[in-house]
């Protein structure tokens, strides 16, 4: 195949590109410049897509003897990922920028350009498996459960899966990838993995959002609507948060309270007991299928609501233009804006953005 290897400057994408070369494919490396004002240096394991990362990617490509280019996707990234991130928080939702980046940039904009240039597939260093099944290509969990990234790839459609290539999917462990990089003489062999949100490298999401959306004081209320405190900006709160609430009125039972809901319309934050975070039902209208769509409108599945959460046995139902998930045991602390990925065993069936949640504990309880 003619393969376009997306090279982030990290060890995973470098080894993935190397394996594509070993497999006999015609490989070209490309690094995506996602910020026109990126810092020149990383802060340890924080951030990515910096000038330093581009240089690391180039050195890896030179070592592999493949052509290398840097493509400017900064405008698309700003519009589709950063602006979306800000808008979601303004709407009181909790977005996942990595999902949006995979959906809009790596496997949409990049893949679209790759196909236009005559490439057969885009290769990345994601840990996931592609299996050719009876109904087409399927996306499955990676062999290494600790590194499995099928959740953040759940946004891929059947057409996109047909043109993707994940050489690391069968790798037993990340340690093996680093050892392989050492053997190949790749300078990124021991480079730390990126953490946190790549466009907020200092990790201060609250401060970054305050600069973008401003901070307006408002009320913190309990489930009955009684005011129990104030806040300096609702955007700084997420569902499930316990610390930093600074409540002026203690709970009657003396137990800690958690953020249950963020209401941007009236600039209120709702708090309550931990048990009220239990979620009995989630639903959303923006969904896609990773391959063939389900044949039945109601089916048994497993649902995962965070990248590192355990999957929960559930039943999925298609109701008009919405998909609804009812878990066997309640989810914990689900926020609108999160992504739910639906599995059948190791196979990804599809995903949707959570628009609404139903608490397992009534407000009067």
Active site residues: 101, 198
The DSSP bridge pattern shows strands 218-221 and 227-231 to be antiparallel
In whole angstroms, give the CA distance from residue 23 to residue 254: 62
Question: What is d(CA 363, CA 224) in angstroms, rounded to the nearest whole number?
Answer: 7
Q: Under a CB-based contact definition with an 8 Å cutoff, are residues 259 and 268 in contact?
A: no
First to last CA, the chain: 60
Paired tokens of 62: 């030179």
Tallying the residues shown for the chain, one arrives at 365
Q: Cβ of 135: how many Cβ atoms within 10 Å?
A: 11
Torsion sign, CA atoms 348, 132, 126, 5? negative
In angstroms, rounded to a whole number, what is the distance separating the alpha carbons of residues 50 and 287?
32
Where do we find the tokens 């609430």? Answer: 245
CA triplet 231, 233, 237: central angle to 5 degrees?
A: 85
Label the pairing between strands 218-221 and 268-272: parallel
State the Cα–Cα distance between residues 142 and 346, nearest whole angstrom. Answer: 8
Using alpha carbons, list the distances in angstroms from residue 175 to 11, 215, 349.
Answer: 11, 44, 29
Q: Of 138, 68, 126, 137, whose CA–CA distance to 101 is shortest?
A: 126
Q: Decide if 277 contacts 261 (C-beta within 8 A).
A: no
């Amino acid at each position: 195949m003619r393969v376009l290897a997306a090279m982030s400057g990290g060890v995973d994408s470098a080894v993935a590109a190397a394996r594509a070369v070993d497999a006999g494919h015609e490989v070209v490396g490309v690094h995506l410049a996602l910020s026109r004002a990126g810092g020149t240096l990383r802060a340890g394991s924080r951030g990515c897509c910096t000038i330093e990362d581009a240089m690391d990617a180039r050195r890896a490509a030179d070592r592999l003897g493949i052509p290398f280019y840097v493509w400017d996707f900064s405008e698309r990234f700003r519009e589709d990922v950063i602006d979306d991130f800000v808008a979601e928080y303004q709407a009181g939702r909790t977005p996942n920028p990595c999902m949006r980046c995979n959906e809009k940039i790596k496997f949409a904009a990049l893949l679209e350009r790759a196909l236009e240039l005559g490439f057969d597939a885009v290769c990345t260093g994601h840990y996931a498996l592609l299996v050719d099944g009876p109904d087409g290509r399927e996306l499955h969990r990676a062999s290494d459960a600790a590194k499995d990234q099928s959740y953040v790839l759940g946004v891929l459609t059947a057409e996109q899966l047909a043109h993707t290539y994940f050489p690391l999917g069968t790798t037993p462990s990340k340690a093996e990838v680093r050892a392989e990089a050492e053997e190949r003489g790749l300078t990124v062999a021991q480079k730390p993995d990126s953490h946190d949100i790549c466009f907020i490298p200092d990790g201060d999401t609250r401060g970054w959002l305050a600069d973008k959306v401003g901070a307006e004081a408002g009320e913190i209320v309990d489930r009955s609507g009684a005011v129990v405190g104030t806040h300096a900006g609702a955007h700084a709160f997420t569902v499930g948060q316990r610390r930093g609430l600074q409540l002026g009125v203690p709970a009657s039972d003396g137990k800690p309270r958690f953020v249950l809901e963020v209401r941007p319309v009236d600039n209120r934050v709702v708090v309550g007991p931990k048990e009220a975070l239990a979620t009995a039902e989630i639903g959303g209208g923006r969904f896609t299928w990773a391959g063939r769509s389900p044949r039945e409108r109601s089916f048994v599945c497993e649902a995962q609501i965070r990248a590192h959460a355990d999957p929960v046995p559930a039943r999925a139902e298609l109701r008009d233009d919405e998909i609804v998930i009812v878990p066997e045991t309640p989810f914990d602390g689900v926020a609108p804006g999160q992504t739910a990925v639906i599995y059948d065993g190791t196979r990804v069936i599809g995903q949707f953005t959570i628009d609404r949640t139903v608490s397992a504990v009534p407000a009067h309880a």
